[in-house]
Amino acid sequence: MSTFDFETNFESAAKIFLENATGLTTTSLFSSLDQDDFVLPRLQVNANVQGADDPPTLNDLGFIEYSKYSIEFSISVVTDASINGTQVNHRSYRAQVREAMLLNASNWSTSNGAGGTILPLYEVKYQKPSGTDFEIDGDLAVSTLTYDIKFTINPNSW
């Protein structure tokens, strides 16, 4: 796990707590670079780094570095809209994702089962829902929930 692979680390952590929150299995959870088969229902997570935040800080070696970053994090709920009754499942998954992404949820601090957390390299300082987009694309119902996240690199991660 590389400290500076923010996207993979956040997406991997989200897949863990979203699996617990929604009851979907790992075969239905995908991050931005996953190349697996297309299955429904599915959750797709995507972290887009927005940049570093000022001011830079001193790392443990005494060098000035940027340790605070912003991410736009999106989670897409994708279900089969061609089957009657699936809208109930879609709405349920969307609500479960929102609950898992509450600011006071244990999401990013969830235990990894080995005495640590699923996101050990960072500390999430701020998380705000920034919007939801819904569309029907052929037979697919897609809700994309977006969050603004601010985090710092843990000093011992340098």
**Total domain count for the chain?**
1
Question: Which CATH number do you get for residue 86?
Answer: 3.30.2000.30
pTM of the predicted structure, to 2 decimals: 0.92
Q: What is the pLDDT of residues 40-73, one digit of tens each?
A: 999 999 999 999 999 998 877 888 999 999 999 9
Burial 85-114 (b: 16+ CB within 10 A, else e): ebeebbeebbebbbebbeeeeebbebeeee
- The span from the CA of 122 to the CA of 78, in Å, is 29
Residue 1 lies inside a defined structural domain of this protein:
no
Residue-number span of the structural domain to which 25 is assigned: 6-157
Q: Which residues pair with 129 in a beta bridge?
A: 147
Q: What is the pLDDT of residue 89?
A: 92
DSSP state of 9: H
Percent of the chain with pLDDT over 90: 71
* Beta pairing, strands 42-52 & 29-30: parallel
Residue 77 lies inside a defined structural domain of this protein:
yes
Q: What is the pLDDT of residues 128-143, one digit of tens each?
A: 999 999 999 889 999 9
Amino acid in the structure at residue 40: L
